[in-house]
Amino acid sequence: MVEPVKKPTRKTDGFVANDTTLRTFVGYHMKRAFNVVQADLAKTLKPFELRMLTYTALVLIVDNPGLSQSQLADAMDVERPNLVVIVDELEQRELIVRQRVPTDRRAYALRVTLKGQHLFQQATDAVTAHEKALLGDIDTGAQDTMIATLIHIQSGGAKG
């Protein structure tokens, strides 16, 4: 049974802007593609009341039990002050705990709670399924090539 397609697409008539200059930039394509992925991710995480940043922090705490906020901030490429609110949110929702480190009383060891572990698993299943739905029809070889290229860029490309 085919749903009759609604037309909420007001937008600007049939006009399509000429973006030939921008298309010469790889970054332009990266941004536009990432917008789509990010929007899909946000929608996927919404039922769990997670955003990309809070989900990423939760995952990294699961995979790195006991790491400090500084280490987490470093892993997420986020400034320490900005990480505080993210950790606050996860802690208030009782998804993680801040444990004092006996050997260094300045630092906290971050650990996931049982509740956090469960939410992590549910959210990760959902994100995995949604990514597969979004990108599943892309040729495996092309996907591998893209990931390798993206990793290369991460390390600074020709500069790194």
Partner DNA sequence: TCATAATAGTTATATTCTATAATTATATTC
Partner DNA sequence: GAATATAATTATAGAATATAACTATTATGA
Among 18, 92, 103, 140, binds a copy of itself (CB under 8 A): 18
User: Which amino acid is present at 2?
Assistant: V
Among 19, 94, 104, 144, binds DNA (CB under 7 A): 104
Report residue 52 CA to chain centroid gap. Answer: 4
* Closer of 85 and 147 to DNA (Cβ): 85
Q: Could you tell me if 66 and 110 are in contact, meaning their C-beta atoms sit under 8 angstroms apart?
A: yes
Query: Taking CB under 8 A as the rule, which mask of x and - marks residues 20-39 in contact with a copy of itself?
Result: xxx-xxxxxxxxxxxxxxx-
Q: Does 52 bind DNA (CB under 7 A)?
A: yes
Listed in sequence order, the DSSP H helices in the chain are: 26-45, 52-63, 69-76, 80-92, 114-135, 140-154
- End-to-end Cα distance, the chain: 53
Partner interacting with residue 104 (select from DNA, a copy of itself, none; CB below 5-8 Å by kind): DNA
Q: Does 3 bind a copy of itself (CB under 8 A)?
A: no
Q: Does 6 bind DNA (CB under 7 A)?
A: no
Q: Which residues lie across from 108 on neighbouring strands?
A: 100
Classify 11 as helix, strand or coil: coil
Sign of CA dihedral 86, 89, 95, 97: positive
* Closer of 80 and 115 to a copy of itself (Cβ): 80
- Residue 98: CB atoms within 10 Å: 16
Q: Which stretch binds DNA (CB under 7 A): 21-29, 78-86, 116-124, 143-151?
A: 78-86
Among 1, 2, 5, 137, binds a copy of itself (CB under 8 A): 137
Query: Whole-number minimum distance, CB 59 to DNA, in Å?
Result: 14
Q: Does 146 bind a copy of itself (CB under 8 A)?
A: yes
